[in-house]
């Protein structure tokens, strides 16, 4: 009778680490445990935290194996050197050892479940050196169950060790955390994950493309278990040969090259090309929300490269992502990237809840494309200001009439919201509208005399002249000036300032000066308010008077006396003009008079 073939074991179980050296990306934890075991400073309880699939339960089993390591001749002690299997190793790693108890707290949350553990801790181990209790998803225990643990966890018997694992460390009471040594297992980096998957693929005699490994590593988000599950699924999908295109189709992802082309088209304002590219990705099996999420990831990558150019050297990036990412970072401004990021975040959320996600994604791409060559608020205001002065309002559109704009090259030093492109047909009508409005604006300028202000104090004086006491008070007490120019004010509002102060100032200033004002609230440090400056000057004057020796002498001689107010005498610097008749009436002066 022939033996039945062994059942298939998934890669996540087949290649589960057996030693500390097999753990990927957890060197700090391994080093701490190695030093603790070598010096004999072994804790009584550990808590392991981290995202799914980074090896918390596996580390707990390896820790139990290290505590109970013993060779066949009965030698050995707690050690992290597990190159040679001990008598308990297989049973512990397969979760069938009598002295290593594993409990899933997700399904055993009550006090009764904890009590079943506490009733056995006082009994010595049956076979091994230590009785080890591994509690997975410990944050799922109830408050009463945690409280029942506290006394035993603080003073356990010498033969008992606890190992907790959780993905939600914040949900574990601090009273429990203070009784444990905590280790945070890190997400595995993309390059380490790719190398690990390549070794497993070689061991499984599977042909796999490097780009496919990168796609799997990126999709796993640092989780080794997720990566091995995806690799297992990819091998079955590709029938022994794994290609990047097949993996993307399996995961519902768009081609990275197509995403970069789509990003290029959107940033150039070419909506038609962007819609064609999205339709091609969607027809190939990519989910609309996934395409927008990939676009957002590209925006994030380009922003990182722009801020820190070394980000392009990430080994997880393909050569095309590296080269084109640098090109995008040179051509796109930070303001454009920030705007695209915000629009994509909202677009992904809209697409996920839309009745027809593909149509929602189309509209998001259209908004991105048409926002790419819109002027920024500063540029729009400058164009309006130039229009008010009668100057040219901006360059004429250079794209073909009635069609989409033709892209132009843009230097890296130019501050522009996107690639330098001609305006879309709707935007091309804006300069014409501005020129058409110039006669009306000129007529208004003739009716109202334009007042030019050079200082912020002039604006306050203008409010007093117009007898707007309320506005004068707001300007004096609530406006910390950051920048002031003619018809432009940037300020930081102080506490208790009205919420619509900027709009009110702009409206009043335009009414008083006859020209449009650009008033904006900024977060920078501003000058003290006029009221604060007046108080500071008054305090300095008061301090100077109090320090005068004559005043000091008066205050010392008169108990309870205090200075209430200080007034500065204004001396006449010019001789007043006298009437001619009054001069003639003056008596003649004697020669010996001492004048």
pLDDT at residue number 398 = 37
Cβ(467)–Cβ(521) under 8 Å? no
Rounded to two decimals, the pTM is 0.56
27-66 pLDDT tens trace: 889 899 989 988 888 999 999 999 888 889 999 999 999 9
pLDDT at residue number 59 = 92
Q: What is the mean pLDDT of residues 402-422?
A: 40
**Which carries the bigger pLDDT value, residue 440 or residue 8?**
8
Inter-axis angle of helices 530-546 and 469-478, to 10 degrees?
70
134-143 pLDDT tens trace: 999 999 999 9
Exposed/middle/buried for 46, CB within 10 Å: 0-12, 13-18, 19+?
Answer: buried
265-292 pLDDT tens trace: 999 888 899 999 899 888 877 889 989 9
- Those residues whose C-beta lies under 8 Å from the C-beta of residue 138, and which sit 6 or more positions away, are 47, 105, 164, 165, 166, 172, 176
> Sorting pLDDT into bands at 50, 70 and 90, what band is 173?
very high
Q: What is the mean pLDDT of residues 534-552?
A: 81
pLDDT at residue number 83 = 83
497-515 pLDDT tens trace: 888 888 888 888 888 888 8
> Sorting pLDDT into bands at 50, 70 and 90, what band is 73?
confident
Q: What is the mean pLDDT of residues 11-23?
A: 89
pLDDT at residue number 307 = 92
> Sorting pLDDT into bands at 50, 70 and 90, what band is 563?
confident
- Those residues whose C-beta lies under 8 Å from the C-beta of residue 305, and which sit 6 or more positions away, are 311, 312, 325, 326, 328, 329
> Sorting pLDDT into bands at 50, 70 and 90, what band is 100?
very high
Task: Give the chain's domains with CATH numbers.
Answer: 11-184 (3.40.50.300), 191-371 (1.20.272.10), 456-527 (3.30.300)
Q: How far apart are CA 532 and CA 512, in angstroms?
A: 25
Q: How far apart are CA 162 and CA 405, in angstroms?
A: 67
Cβ(213)–Cβ(198) under 8 Å? yes
- Those residues whose C-beta lies under 8 Å from the C-beta of residue 533, and which sit 6 or more positions away, are none
> What percentage of the chain reaches a pLDDT higher than 90?
22
> Sorting pLDDT into bands at 50, 70 and 90, what band is 75?
confident
Nearest to 19 by CA among 56, 50, 49, 62: 62
DSSP classification of residue 166: E
Q: Name the CA dihedral angle for 145, 148, 153, 158, rounded to a multiple of 10 degrees.
A: -120
Which is it for the CA torsion 472, 475, 477, 478, positive or negative? Answer: positive
> What percentage of the chain reaches a pLDDT higher than 70?
82
> Sorting pLDDT into bands at 50, 70 and 90, what band is 180?
very high
- Those residues whose C-beta lies under 8 Å from the C-beta of residue 324, and which sit 6 or more positions away, are 260, 264
> Sorting pLDDT into bands at 50, 70 and 90, what band is 434?
very low
Q: What is the mean pLDDT of residues 184-188?
A: 90
Q: Is the pLDDT of residue 300 over 90?
A: yes
How confident is the prediction for the chain on average, in pLDDT?
A: 80
pLDDT at residue number 397 = 41
> Sorting pLDDT into bands at 50, 70 and 90, what band is 349?
very high
Q: How far apart are CA 358 and CA 368, in angstroms?
A: 15
pLDDT at residue number 378 = 67
pLDDT at residue number 387 = 63
Q: Which two tokens stand for residue 231?
A: 């690799």
**Which carries the bigger pLDDT value, residue 400 or residue 484?**
484
> Sorting pLDDT into bands at 50, 70 and 90, what band is 362?
very high
């Amino acid at each position: 009778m022939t033996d039945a073939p062994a059942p298939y074991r998934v890669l996540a179980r087949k290649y589960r680490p057996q030693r500390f050296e097999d753990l990927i990306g957890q060197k700090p934890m391994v080093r701490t445990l190695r030093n603790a075991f070598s010096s004999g400073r072994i804790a009584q309880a550990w808590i392991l935290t981290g995202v799914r699939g980074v090896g918390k339960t596996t580390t707990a089993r390896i820790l139990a194996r290290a505590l109970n390591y013993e060779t066949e001749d009965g030698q050995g002690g707690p050690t992290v050197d597990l190159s040679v299997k001990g008598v308990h190793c297989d049973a512990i790693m397969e979760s069938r050892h009598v002295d290593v108890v594993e409990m899933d707290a997700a399904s055993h949350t009550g006090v009764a479940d904890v009590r079943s553990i506490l009733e056995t801790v006082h009994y010595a181990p049956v076979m091994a050196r230590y009785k080890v209790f591994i509690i997975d998803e410990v944050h799922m225990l109830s408050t009463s169950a945690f409280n029942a643990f506290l006394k035993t966890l603080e003073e356990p018997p010498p033969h008992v060790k606890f190992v907790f694992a959780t993905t939600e460390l914040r949900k574990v009471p601090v009273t429990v955390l203070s009784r444990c040594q905590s280790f945070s297992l890190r997400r595995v980096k993309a390059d380490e994950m790719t190398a690990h998957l390549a070794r497993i693929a070689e061991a499984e005699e599977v042909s796999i493309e490097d780009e496919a490994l990168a796609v799997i590593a990126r999709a796993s988000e640092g989780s080794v278990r997720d990566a091995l599950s995806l690799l297992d699924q990819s091998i079955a999908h590709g029938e022994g040969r794994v290609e990047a295109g097949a993996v993307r189709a399996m995961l519902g992802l768009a081609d990275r090259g197509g995403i970069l082309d789509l990003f290029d088209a959107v940033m150039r304002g070419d909506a038609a090309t962007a819609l064609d590219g999205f339709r091609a990705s969607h027809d190939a099996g990519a989910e609309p929300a996934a395409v927008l999420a990939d676009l957002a990831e590209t925006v994030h990558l380009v922003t990182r490269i722009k801020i820190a150019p070394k980000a392009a050297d990430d080994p997880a990036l393909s050569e095309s992502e590296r080269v084109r990412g640098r090109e995008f970072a040179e051509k796109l401004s930070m303001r454009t990237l920030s705007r695209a990021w915000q629009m994509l975040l909202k677009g992904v959320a809209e697409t996920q809840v839309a009745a027809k996600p593909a149509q929602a994604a189309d509209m998001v791409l259209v908004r991105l494309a048409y926002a790419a060559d819109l002027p920024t608020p500063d540029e729009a205001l400058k164009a309006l200001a130039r229009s008010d002065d009668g100057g040219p309002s901006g360059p004429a559109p250079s794209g073909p009439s009635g069609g989409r704009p033709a892209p132009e090259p843009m230097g890296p030093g130019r501050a522009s919201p996107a690639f330098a492109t001609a305006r879309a047909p709707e935007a091309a009508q804006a300069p014409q509208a501005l020129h058409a409005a110039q006669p009306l604006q000129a007529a208004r300028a003739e009716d109202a005399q334009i007042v030019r202000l050079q200082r912020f104090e002039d604006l306050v004086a203008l409010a007093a002249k117009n007898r707007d006491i309320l506005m004068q008070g707001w300007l004096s007490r609530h406006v910390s000036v950051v920048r002031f120019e003619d018809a432009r004010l940037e300020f930081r509002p102080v506490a208790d300032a009205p919420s619509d102060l900027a709009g009110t100032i702009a409206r009043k200033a335009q009414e008083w000066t006859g020209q449009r004002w650009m008033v904006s609230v900024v977060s920078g440090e501003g000058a003290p308010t006029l009221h604060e400056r007046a108080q500071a000057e008054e305090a300095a004057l008061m301090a100077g008077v109090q320090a005068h020796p004559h005043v000091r002498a008066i205050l010392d001689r008169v108990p309870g006396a205090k200075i209430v107010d200080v007034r500065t005498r204004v001396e006449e610097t010019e001789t007043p003009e006298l009437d001619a008749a009054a001069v003639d009436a003056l008596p003649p002066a004697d020669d010996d008079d001492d004048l």
